[in-house]
Homo-oligomer: A and B are copies of this chain.
Amino acid sequence: MFVNLKETAEKLKSAENILVTSHINPDGDAIGSTLALMQILRSMKKNVQVYIDDNVPKSFLNLPCVDEIKRPAENEKFSADLFVVLDTSADRIGKVSEMTDAPILNIDHHVTNKGVDCDLHLEVEAAATCEIIFNIAHELGAEITENAAICLYTGMATDTGFFNYSNTKPSTFRAAAELVERGVQPNLIIEQIDKRTFQEVKVMSAALRTTKLYFGGKAAGMFVDEELYKKTNTTEGFIDLIRVIDTVDVAFLLTSHEKNICRVSMRSKNANVAEIAKRLGGGGHIRAAGCTLQKTLEEAKQILIQAIGEYLVETNNISREEFENCEEISISNF
């Protein structure tokens, strides 16, 4: 059942023992929104605990109160009268789903959330769940402390690519303004999140050297093999280095995580990469999508370039001849 902002605030107000969670593979919005809501509700003297069935990514380990996030033990229970699920429907929260039978209050901004078996407060125009938590704090008349503001800002910033994606709305900027008034220092937030080890920069440099252009520059790709991937287990932000090439519509990153398991990430300026990903068994958004191919890196590369090329032909971005005569242009040749 859908509930509005006021009803959501009422449900939070009338609960005393509240379990808060978010999705596995948590991002800045999942971590930020759970921590912020916890702090806001605790300031109202509620008994609140955050459980997430995954590790906190290292970019977010400096967030205020992050040590309060627990990971559920086998068969662990939490005696709650309200179960708040943030930034996801309740089917992506791992073992936390078994911790309580309390009624679920689901708060999310993903249009795909159908709100099954729960009260759902959905704001699809919100750039991040953190923006909704910001609105809820106002509705509750709760104070947003500097620590809570840092958590909210982090979620909004990471979900909008630091205010640069198309989901950045006037309301996002206005919320950011208020959070800065409450003590957030934007430069320190991005410094924490963008931090890389030297080893990661080494891997990024090696990955950049693999860049190839296809279809007269309309597509560009990077290739991270298993050996390279294992050095740091992250390729965060790599695709942004080639996405910016002026001729490129579709940028992709092909990473071999394990033998015969390749992960594909795609970004585009115009092309519908969700459609390309779907044909390869994946999915996503129009401008950011991905899939997994159970192939070697070399096989996956052929399949992916074929799929991108077919799409570009169908959408009249290249001719059939350009597709068939596609040359691979390497970054290493000046």
Do the beta carbons of A173 and B180 come within 8 Å of each other? yes
Q: For the complex, is A187 an interface residue (Cβ under 8 Å from B)? A: yes
- In the complex, whether A8 has a CB less than 8 A from a CB of chain B is no
Interface size class of chain A, counting residues whose CB lies under 8 Å from the partner chain: 35 or more
Q: Spot the interface stretch: A41-49, A190-198, A274-282.
A: A190-198
Known: A170-B177, A174-B177, A205-B205. A213 touches B198 (CB 8 A): yes
In the complex, what distance in Å separates the CA atom of A64 from the CA atom of B245?
22
Q: Within 8 Å CB of A209, what residues of B?
A: 205, 209
Interface string of A163-193 (1 = CB under 8 A from B): 1111011111110111011000111001100
- Pick the contact of A173: B177, B220, B246, B332 (CB < 8 A): B177
Most buried by B among A177, A196, A331, A334: A177
With contacts A194-B244, A198-B247, A246-B195 taken as known, whether A180 is within 8 angstroms of B168 at the C-beta atoms is yes
B170-A180 in contact (CB<8A): yes
Q: Are A211 and B201 in contact (CB under 8 A)?
A: yes
Query: With A and B bound together, what is the CA distance between A180 and B176 in angstroms?
Result: 14
Q: Which of B165, B173, B242, B331 contacts A187 (CB 8 A)?
A: B165
Residues of A within 8 A of B (CB): 162-166, 168-174, 176-178, 180-181, 185-187, 190-191, 194-199, 201-202, 204-205, 208-209, 211, 213, 217, 220, 231, 241-242, 244-247, 269, 329, 331-332, 334
Can you list 16 A-B contacts (CB < 8 A)? A162-B162, A163-B176, A164-B190, A169-B180, A170-B178, A170-B180, A173-B177, A174-B174, A174-B177, A191-B269, A198-B213, A198-B247, A198-B331, A201-B241, A201-B244, A205-B205
